[in-house]
Amino acid sequence: MHFSIREATREDVPALLKLIKDLAVYERLLDQVVASEDLLARAGFGEERFFRALLAEDAEKQAIGFALYFFTFSTFLARPTLYLEDLFVLPELRGRGVGKALLRELAKIALAKGCGRMEWAVLNWNQPAIDFYRSLGALPQEEWTTFRLTGEALERLSKAD
């Protein structure tokens, strides 16, 4: 199968949003998607860029996968970390090297930016993804628990004394 990978542009926002919704369906989280083309355009391609994305396309230039990422910072390493927020390949095209190619491009970006590591999260039930990541040499960080603050709790904390 022939495919290519490139940096996403503002013109790719509709394709990115479709793939994000496809990912949400796969993860059984479609009811949580509030992203819109406008929000993605502002956050990823506006004056201040909060994310970047790679887009995988087939020979007909149709979007078949994406990787959305941003940079954090490791205080222990004193170097940036490339954080992969989402990686998705259309289910019918998995196993053809698209996901691995997206991760390879991310690794190149991480090294070019001087990152000390790449990190991402995977749903505990997603055994195919876990197996795939392990096959690449990635290791789970089981001693860490992810916390999330949203909605009312986030508002409450922002106003705390």
> Could you list the active site residues?
133
Sign of the CA dihedral with 9 first, then 114, 23, and 153 last = negative
CB contact at 8 A, 102 and 85:
no
What is the helix (H) or strand (E) element at residue 25, kind and residue range?
A: helix 13-26
Strands 79-89 and 117-120: parallel
Distance CA 19, CA 15 (A): 6
